[in-house]
């Protein structure tokens, strides 16, 4: 929940880019004469002086990371009957940490907005050097989302925004009430960003994730003015096309932002599975492959009208994921797959055998640039349009 890591990186860039100019302006009107012995000494020692601001931020980040991890573990632990009681002191401590850095939040937002805007313009997504819509976001606690799917088929029928401070007990009570009253599958899920304007982005210490999310939500704002975004709610295919487009570009352009401004923060490329596998060591648990298998199996069971069996199978699989260390999956049901299955920027995972995400990925692979891909996707109103675009680029080769 804290964003000290992002703050520290942004401030480092701010110092590198603007400090020389600010120093010049300050020296022109400084009350400290250039001949002051202490100031002459600091010209030699400045680079080696202890960074109290950096030390403070590092300490705050370390504390916040520890508290975040403890809070996530409490809320995901199925053995706790009253997790809110155990979480109360952790939440209070996080709130105190957040208040200590909130005064610097506008500076962090302004820096990242400018950096993302520059990269988007460099990619040809601006007009006269200006990006439209402008990149605008705020760090904010985000609403939770209540996702509703039929039990007999995986399909997102409702997405209702809820109070971000809703307790876990109330989330569970709401899910149970909706399911029992309407005979549906329901799940309350967290979200990382919301495409309002300005967009809302969850506070985080992970700079790579933040830049990816800022770009992801900007793409949604860009698409809102065009057919793909206007038709977001018309079908599951259109939602998957929207989310997969935003996810692909969020990762791709977000990485370009890091490479330009924060090269030390660029994550390493994913290791090749075969190369990473040491001889004689059992293969590591592959989350995406196992989730893909689960989704495909559930789809087949639901198609055979085996609803109760599919639900029992999903709970059994959730226990497998828990045992493998994936403690954030509180429930695995139809609503879970309806929500997460739309983010198909990588093969496998919760999307199962849905061909839409794969078609979006294929089109990106066939087009020369992020800008060409975004402009092509933006004017689509159906999955048929995507198939036609793929056929066109294939015939042009």
Summarised one tens digit per residue, pLDDT across range 160-216 is 999 888 888 889 999 999 999 999 999 999 888 888 888 888 877 678 888 999 999
Burial track 65-93 (b if 16+ CB lie within 10 A, e otherwise): bebbebbebbbbeeeeeebeeebeebeeb
Q: Measure the N-to-C terminal CA separation of the chain; round to a whole number of Å.
A: 47
What secondary structure letter does DSSP report for 349? G
pLDDT at site 61: 62
β-strand 199-201 against 130-131: which pairing, if any?
unpaired
pLDDT at site 81: 72
Q: Which run of H or E residues covers position 297?
A: helix 287-303
pLDDT at site 51: 43
176 closest CA partner among 168, 165, 187, 167: 187
CA–CA separation, 232 and 390 (whole Å): 20
Inform me whether the pLDDT recorded for 371 exceeds 50.
yes
**183 Cβ contact list (under 8 Å, min separation 6):** 151
Asked if 27 and 43 touch (Cβ cutoff 8 Å), the reply is no
Q: Max alpha carbon distance in the chain (Å)? A: 86
Summarised one tens digit per residue, pLDDT across range 372-388 is 999 999 999 999 999 99
The pTM for the full model equals: 0.75
Asked if 240 and 353 touch (Cβ cutoff 8 Å), the reply is no
CA–CA separation, 384 and 301 (whole Å): 28
């Amino acid at each position: 929940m804290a964003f000290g890591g992002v703050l520290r990186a942004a401030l480092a860039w701010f110092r590198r880019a603007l400090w020389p100019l600010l120093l010049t302006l300050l020296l022109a009107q400084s009350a400290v004469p250039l001949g002051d012995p202490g100031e002459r000494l600091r010209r030699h020692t400045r680079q080696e002086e202890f960074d109290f601001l950096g030390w403070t931020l590092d300490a705050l980040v370390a504390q916040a990371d520890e508290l975040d991890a403890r809070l996530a573990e409490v809320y995901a632990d199925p053995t706790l009957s009253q997790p809110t009681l155990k979480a109360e002191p952790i939440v209070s401590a996080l709130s105190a940490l957040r208040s200590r850095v909130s005064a610097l939040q506008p500076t962090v937002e302004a820096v990242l907005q400018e950096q993302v805007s520059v990269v988007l313009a460099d990619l040809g997504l601006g007009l006269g050097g200006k990006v439209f819509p402008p990149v605008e976001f705020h760090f904010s606690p985000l609403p939770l989302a209540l996702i509703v799917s039929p039990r007999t088929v995986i399909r997102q029928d409702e997405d209702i925004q809820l109070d971000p401070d809703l307790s876990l007990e109330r989330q569970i009570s709401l899910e149970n009430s909706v399911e029992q009253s309407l005979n549906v599958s329901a799940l309350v899920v967290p979200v990382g960003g919301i495409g309002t304007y300005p967009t809302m982005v969850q506070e985080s210490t992970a700079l790579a994730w933040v830049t990816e999310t800022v770009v992801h939500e900007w793409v949604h704002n860009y698409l809102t003015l065009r057919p793909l975004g206007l038709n977001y709610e018309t079908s599951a295919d259109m939602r998957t096309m929207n989310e997969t487009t935003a996810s692909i570009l969020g990762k791709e352009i977000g990485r370009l932002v890091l490479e330009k401004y924060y090269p030390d923060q660029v994550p390493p490329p994913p290791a090749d599975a075969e190369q990473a596998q040491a001889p004689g060591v059992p293969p590591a648990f592959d989350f995406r492959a196992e989730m893909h298998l689960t989704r495909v199996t559930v789809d087949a069971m639901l198609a055979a009208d085996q609803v109760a069996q599919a639900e029992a199978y999903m709970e059994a699989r959730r226990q497998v994921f828990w045992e493998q260390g994936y403690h954030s999956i509180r429930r695995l049901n139809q609503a879970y797959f309806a929500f997460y299955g739309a983010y198909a920027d990588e093969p496998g995972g919760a999307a199962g055998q849905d061909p839409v995400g794969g078609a979006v990925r294929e089109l990106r692979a066939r087009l020369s640039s992020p800008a060409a891909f975004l402009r092509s996707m933006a004017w689509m109103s159906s999955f048929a349009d995507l198939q036609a675009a793929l056929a066109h680029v294939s015939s042009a080769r």
